[in-house]
Amino acid sequence: MHVVFVEPSFPGNQVEFVRGLAEVGATVTGIGELPADALPDGIKRYLNGYEHVGSVCHEEEMLATMRRIQGRGWVDRLEATVEAHILPVARVREACKIPGTSVRTAFLCRDKPAMKEALREAGVSCARSAGVSSPEETRAFAERVGYPIILKPRSSAGAAGTYRVDNDDDLEAAIRECGIDRGAATAAEEFIEGHEAFYDTLTIDGRIAHEFISHYYPGVLEALRTRWISPYFLTTNRVEAESYDEVRAMGKRVIEVLGIETSATHMEWFFGPKGLKFSEIGCRPPGVGTWDLYTAANDMDLYREWASAIAHGRTASKPSRQYSTGIINLRPDRDGTITGYGGLEEIHARFGSNILDSHLPPPGTPTQPVEAGYMANAWIRMRHTDYDELRQILDAVGQTVKVFAR
């Protein structure tokens, strides 16, 4: 089995996918933007070949590179796991007649208005939405749906470039910020009140082989806009509980409608006064180390499970569901340079046995902005056998640990 893997060196956890492929017996060729002689030894050890390109999103260059690789021998799979790479790689894959995620599926998992239109037609409950590219279209959508609404790039991931709009003044400001007044293609959506969570899978030929459910506290938009909050998310070990039956059924239906075959998926959902609502899905793994949390929670190597699905069409183990795991983001009290920490000794004394690992940049480290995400600045990853206990522990960590800056 010869697998070509796109961009093995960035972000940092990409090496885990390459490792998984090598460990299940695949021959792995990498394509990436880092020169071959600059690849870390930890990546080189898993690769049988490597091609350097200027951009893995440049389709003509990628197609020429794949033709060159195919000219040397058979290629069974061409795989990418980063959101921005999924669609251009799908186009190259189809041009090279390599099995895998189709252009249709990749497009629907990337373009938010098209995604929701396809799912609404199939009976999946979604927020009202539309693609807009002019101030007039945006104002008409807001008038039709009513405030609040959400504006974000059609191909965004997570909360990147996302704005909540509560009134006419907010709308005009967001039109300028999003570039809609300059013709930028934007997704306009009804704001859905409720709890925000996600449902992740590993699918094989459209069948869900592994599934995981995680919860945000608070929701992503608030978490990435509010400095004083120490946001966290955690995965539950109660996935099979009856209370999640509707979520799991919706996820299965979404995968079916969008034609997702053998792939990781990451689906966001809301539950509130209007019931369960689909938010969006990516045809790729979740970010910010979420698979590391699933691995630690379930006594399994999820990267290797993914590799087995890609290379052999099967998985090798079952999740234990022994633990819930979570990550909490600890923000500096201001932008600048980190000067120190408070409360760490207390947290280690109370919850040291629950800590998986942590990242605590030393004094003198420049801070990163709040919107940089859950692994910006400082973070701690933890686990516990009981979901509710872990949530209380993460709350205590957020209330106790302080990151000082100047």
The model's pLDDT over 54-85, given as tens digits with 9 standing for 90+, comes to 999 999 999 999 999 999 999 999 999 999 99
- How many of the other CB atoms lie within 10 Å of CB of 324? 25
Predicted confidence (pLDDT) per residue in 275-291, tens digit: 999 999 999 999 999 99
Are the beta carbons of 379 and 328 closer than 8 angstroms?
Answer: yes
Are the beta carbons of 208 and 251 closer than 8 angstroms?
Answer: yes
pLDDT for position 23? 98
Strand partners, 220: none
Name the residue ranges covered by the structural domains of the chain: 2-107, 128-190, 195-405
pLDDT for position 158? 55
Domain covering 2-107, topology? Rossmann fold (3.40.50)
* Token code pair at residue 157: 């991931």
pLDDT for position 204? 98
pLDDT for position 127? 87
Q: Of the ranges 60-74, 131-145, 153-167, which one carries the lowest mean pLDDT score?
A: 153-167
CA distance readout (Å), 84 to 80, 89, 253, 283, 371:
9, 9, 24, 11, 18
Reported as a pLDDT band with limits 50, 70 and 90, residue 263 is: very high
Predicted confidence (pLDDT) per residue in 364-401, tens digit: 999 999 889 899 999 999 999 999 999 999 999 999 99
Euclidean distance between CA atoms 229 and 37, whole angstroms? 42
Closest CA to 236 of 399, 383, 354: 383
Q: Which CATH superfamily is domain 195-405 in?
A: ATP-grasp fold, B domain (3.30.470.20)
Predicted confidence (pLDDT) per residue in 300-344, tens digit: 999 999 999 999 999 999 999 999 999 999 999 999 999 999 999
pLDDT for position 224? 84
pLDDT of 244 higher than 90? yes
Q: What is the mean pLDDT of the chain?
A: 95
- How many of the other CB atoms lie within 10 Å of CB of 270? 20
Closest CA to 355 of 312, 390, 322, 400: 390
pLDDT for position 129? 87
| pTM for this entry | 0.92
Reported as a pLDDT band with limits 50, 70 and 90, residue 155 is: low
pLDDT for position 225? 82
> Angle 60-29-24 (CA atoms, 0-180°, nearest 5)?
140
Reported as a pLDDT band with limits 50, 70 and 90, residue 221 is: confident
pLDDT for position 82? 97
CATH code assigned to 128-190? 3.30.1490.20
* Token code pair at residue 54: 């200027």
pLDDT for position 180? 93
DSSP state letter for 365:
P
Dihedral sign of CA atoms 282, 285, 288, 291 in order: positive
Reported as a pLDDT band with limits 50, 70 and 90, residue 160 is: low
pLDDT for position 321? 98
pLDDT for position 157? 59
